[in-house]
A and B are shown apart, each in its own frame.
Chain A
């Protein structure tokens, strides 16, 4: 099955630094989603993007839906220790009652206090 190319796979950053991660695909999606997973829990939705070119913020998080509809990025500004976790992108297609979601392989973020 198809998977999205998500990078980087992991990163260590100092508290207060900004973080950027992205996803690319060979297929077009009509929705891009970003989730965060804490240890021992299920993924939790951070940001949903519905239109090509859309730029959306949620607190210190900003995400964009690429113009080609084949990519998306997530930025975290001024990182804090609770940002630690695994971040997943997901591309979603819904058409005529059919829905398909494809997830990236995840970016593991470690924040050094």
Chain B
């Protein structure tokens, strides 16, 4: 089954303790992206990647890192989490085509609480 898989689904942790949220897709998509969702603000893009070893900042990258060493995986790293990073996080992926825009497929989300 074609899917985007995020882990963990839920995490409660404390300020300053490094954490990683994994994202994996089995659709051979070039494009992968991370979003955070906060009430009243919709989905805001954190980082995206056009292909292996190619990453770039989205609209709200501060406090986050990403890496794209393999095509299928795109982990989100919080080196020193703070309470304002408490949010619902989504990973998404899509094909990249020169001929048409390809819609993104989303994972089921990771709810992070930073105390």
Contact = CB atoms under 8 A, between A and B. Distances in A.
Interface of A: 1-3, 6, 9, 30-31, 33, 35, 40-45, 48, 50, 88, 90, 92-94, 97-99, 101-106
B31 A99 contact: yes
B42 A1 contact: no
Chain B interface size, under 10 / 10 to 19 / 20 to 34 / 35 or more:
20 to 34
Contacts of A101: 33, 45, 104
Contacts of A9: 40
B43 A103 contact: yes
Given A35-B106, A99-B48, A103-B35, 16 more contacts: A1-B44, A1-B58, A6-B42, A30-B101, A40-B108, A40-B109, A42-B90, A42-B107, A92-B101, A93-B101, A94-B100, A97-B96, A97-B98, A99-B101, A101-B45, A102-B45
B12 interface: no
Given A1-B44, A1-B60, A99-B31, A44 B108 contact: no
21 contacts: A1-B44, A1-B59, A31-B101, A35-B106, A40-B109, A41-B108, A42-B90, A43-B106, A45-B105, A48-B103, A88-B43, A92-B101, A92-B103, A94-B100, A94-B101, A99-B48, A99-B50, A101-B33, A102-B45, A103-B35, A104-B42
